[in-house]
Structure 1
Amino acid sequence: MVDVKQFPSGDVRDYTVSPKGDTNAQQEPIWYSGSALAPDLSLPKIRKRVDATEPQESPHTTIPWHRATAAAESIPHRLEHAEDAAAQAHLAAFGEAFNALPLRAPQTIRPQLRQAADAFERATRSRVQAEHQHARALRGAVRAMIREPAPKDGALLAMFLDAAILAVIAAARWHQLRNHDQQVAAAHQTLIQLQAAYKHTAVAPLTALAQRRPPQQVVQRHTLLIHQTMPDHAKQAAEGPSFDALTAVLAAAEKAGHDPKQLLQQATGERALDDARSPARVLTWRIERLSARPVPSERARVARIRSATRWSVAPVRPTTVASASQPQPPQARRR
């Protein structure tokens, strides 16, 4: 139950909530303010996060699940390179995605997702003050995602969970580098539940994709592209159980008019594969999402090639400063 308190003008002043059946000795409901439940559930802090939500659709993709997945894929890069206040904002927004996910998941994996959400809630908190405007896109994508009907074939959900696993591994690393021991433990507990949910969800769509494996000559050509694009992970990808699914989505994308080499370059860009137990599986979902976008026009392709060429021949400025030794990242749980 929710009791909304208003000013004489009608504007909302505050709110309290009462779980059904939670009563005192007089059988009257016990009411709790938002701030009594959690520091970030006070009305001013809720408003602050709502105001920092991107309202408009992304120009690149109109599928909300793809938008949310793309935002989740960007989290490891942002945690590594952003200021702490911005990184904390992304962790908070990502935690909100976990809370919303069970609403759009099949009954069979809701228990694992709820446990993952409960565990990760602790990993979203630290003494770092979040600047929520940095996570506008992620929060807007999640908001759009939960307004969509639940996905029917499991592929969209598996795609998001796959990106979420790498994001949680990155969150554990971010907290460990800052000696946030409780948050690290919470992130590891999240991984256990998340990996169980992913394993249950991904089997059917990956099997269906693998059954569409292209002819051997196409597989050989795409294998060569994979070795050229991601030499550090190509052998692991080619030997993995999801390689047939990867070649299937590459062949389908090429048939639709996409350049498979460009898709692989986009898929491996800033989204590192070092934490992925199965690079082929991660790339399968990324290619599947990227190939859902409209095929670039010929003019756009020429402009992209010119831009890539210009950057590739740009002179490298010499540096006289030796790179400082960085602390070795902790051993994260691999998928």
Structure 2
Amino acid sequence: MRAGVNALHGASTGNGDEAACRWAAVRHADDHINVIATLVREDGRRPRLHNEARRAQAEARRIEADYGLHRVTPGDGIASKRPTSAERHKAERQGRARAPREELRETVRGAGDGAASTDEFLDRLKNAGLLVRTRVLPSGDLQGYKVALPDDRNKDNEPTFHSGSRLAPDLSLPRIQERFTTAPTPPEIAGSEQPERPARPSVPAAARRATAHAARHALLVLNHGADDGVAAAQISATGEVLDALAKTSALHTRSELRQAAWEFERASRSHTRAEFRHAQDLRRAARDLVHGGPAPGRGEDGAGTAMVLDMLVFLATAAANWHAQRQHAQQAEAARRTAAHLRAAYQHAAGEPLTVLRERGRRIAPSLLRRHATTLRAVLPELAETILAEPGWNALVATLTDAETAGQDARALLVEATARRELDSAESAGEVLIWRLRRTADLPGYAPAPGALRDQRPGHQRATTRQVPAASAPAMPRLFGDASAFNG
């Protein structure tokens, strides 16, 4: 079909039905055509229109296969409603980058991140500058809510309100309220003992460290084959964490994190009903991020962001696998795109902290450097030489030194960090170990530990060390690894 305006007329079916509805296909752009059809057959009867959108999409998938075209992932009927053409044109006239429906959806979703009650959720909506209306039953119970942008008006100059369910299926009031529960996650859900949760943070860096712990626990849940409702809750709560992290991130990571949160919005929703009582660690982490406020992206804040992004890449990849195993094509693809944005954000966030650690590692005494190399060869004989040749080796040396200064057993920590965890195909095995060690030993992500730059011989270490059993931690895949690592 040539560019320009071309029309083809004929029967709407291929089964020889001469009385079928007439149609015309019009191409007026390079990337799509419009199909126009009458809704009355030539014999006067009306066509069968039940589920016509779904049947049309199924036919489009067959055409893609027949002609070798790009294969679009099939939908499942629960995606957020797209703005209508009228809404898009109105946004263009008003000079908006997005339609009001999309702005509202993002704001409402953010208001629910980590919220602990309906009142808190509604207060966040109002504090974000939205106009809020609520519906109350005769019993006094809240039935629903609507929101509007103050400057989005209809022809009568009245605010254009949208209910939560019109913005997205999971933003209706009942679905929002399902998240408000404080029941703890039973240990058997994760298949192992739950990791200790740090004290409630009050600053951005501490909030990020707590989020890394919560993300690790969520990964254990997905990796141990939890019930679908439990896994769906962890994935949905991961979306809350990404929203909160994007809102409080530094400028150099904000763009990638906002894209990651935008992509994961699709991955966080499926037909599987989430059991949110099993995802409160992640929801509290999202709340901590919001209340911790913006992170400047330097020093300990930047290191904390790198640490949590390290775990979130794992979590997004695990979510992609979980959806793929259940034939949730759109959600799986969205989670993979999320992981790609998180990798890019990690590269931005980790640059300065790793540079500082490398500089510190270069100043460590040669005797201590040799001892750490000997320990690494004993624990990881197959990968030791590769790690020793990496640019991150000096940063790993600084981390091992910090661990010993803090009274930890560096060898035991290395054994724990590598036990049953795939490292061979990591982009940088040493870099993976740095964040695992600093998270496990609860070391500062950036600032030097007291005395960390001294020439520390074995006799200068603290007498008290913490022995970490090698089998205490479940298997973890590599930092930016193959998704198949989660399937076992």
Q: After the TM superposition, which residues 23-172 of structure 1 pair with which residues of structure 2 at under 5 Å, given as runs?
A: 23-52=153-182, 60-62=197-199, 63-81=206-224, 82-152=226-296, 153=298, 154-172=302-320
CA contact (8 A) 1:60 1:293 kept: no
Structure-2 change in CA distance of 1:65 and 1:275 (3 Å): farther
Distance in 2, matches of 1:5 and 1:298, equals 64
The structure richer in helix per residue is: 1
1:326 aligned partner: none
Which runs of 5 or more residues in structure 2 are unaligned?
Answer: 1-129, 185-194, 200-205, 445-461, 473-481
Equivalent in 325, 328, 334 of residue 186 of structure 1? 334
Distance in 2, matches of 1:275 and 1:17, equals 48
Measure how far apart 1:241 and its partner are. 2.5
Measure how far apart 1:135 and its partner are. 1.1
Q: After the TM superposition, which residues 1-335 of structure 1 pair with which residues of structure 2 at under 5 Å, given as runs?
A: 1=130, 2-7=132-137, 12-52=142-182, 60-62=197-199, 63-81=206-224, 82-152=226-296, 153=298, 154-213=302-361, 214-230=364-380, 233-268=383-418, 273=423, 276-292=426-442, 301=466, 308=469
Structure-2 change in CA distance of 1:254 and 1:240 (3 Å): same
SS of residue in 2 equivalent to 1:61: coil
Measure how far apart 1:278 and its partner are. 2.0
User: Which residue identity lines up with residue 247 of structure 2 in the other structure?
Assistant: L
SS of residue in 1 equivalent to 2:179: helix
Q: Which stretch has the larger CA shift, 73-82 or 243-252? A: 73-82
Structure-2 change in CA distance of 1:228 and 1:137 (3 Å): farther
Structure-2 change in CA distance of 1:172 and 1:228 (3 Å): farther
Deviations 1:194-238 (A, max 9, x none): 222221121111101111112233233223333444556545433
CA contact (8 A) 1:219 1:247 kept: yes
User: Which residue identity lines up with residue 283 of structure 2 in the other structure?
Assistant: R
User: Which residue identity lines up with residue 243 of structure 1 in the other structure?
Assistant: W
Structure-2 change in CA distance of 1:175 and 1:48 (3 Å): same
2:29 aligned partner: none
Q: Which stretch has the larger CA shift, 21-30 or 10-19? A: 10-19
Distance in 2, matches of 1:190 and 1:90, equals 16
CA contact (8 A) 2:409 2:465 kept: no
Measure how far apart 1:7 and its partner are. 5.0
Which runs of 5 or more residues in structure 1 are unaligned?
Answer: 313-328
SS of residue in 2 equivalent to 1:49: coil
Measure how far apart 1:17 and its partner are. 0.9
Structure-2 change in CA distance of 1:91 and 1:270 (3 Å): farther
Distance in 1, matches of 2:276 and 2:293, equals 27
Deviations 1:263-284 (A, max 9, x none): 2244345765477422222221
Distance in 1, matches of 2:376 and 2:465, equals 23
Measure how far apart 1:251 and its partner are. 0.2
Q: Which has the higher contact order (CA 8 A, sep 6+)?
A: 1
Q: Which stretch has the larger CA shift, 132-141 or 261-270? A: 261-270
CA contact (8 A) 2:244 2:289 kept: no
Distance in 1, matches of 2:380 and 2:217, equals 19
Distance in 2, matches of 1:123 and 1:199, equals 23
TM value normalised by structure 1: 0.79
2:188 aligned partner: none
Larger Cα-atom Rg: 2
User: Which residue identity lines up with residue 275 of structure 2 in the other structure?
Assistant: E
CA contact (8 A) 2:170 2:269 kept: no
CA contact (8 A) 1:52 1:135 kept: no
Structure-2 change in CA distance of 1:298 and 1:169 (3 Å): same
CA contact (8 A) 1:5 1:12 kept: yes
Measure how far apart 1:330 and its partner are. 5.3
Distance in 2, matches of 1:76 and 1:271, equals 13
Deviations 1:69-110 (A, max 9, x none): 012123333212122222111111101111111221112322
Structure-2 change in CA distance of 1:25 and 1:60 (3 Å): closer
Distance in 2, matches of 1:239 and 1:161, equals 25
Deviations 1:20-47 (A, max 9, x none): 4322211211111111111211112212
SS of residue in 2 equivalent to 1:212: helix
How many residue pairs align between the two structures? Answer: 307
Identity %: 39
CA contact (8 A) 1:116 1:194 kept: yes
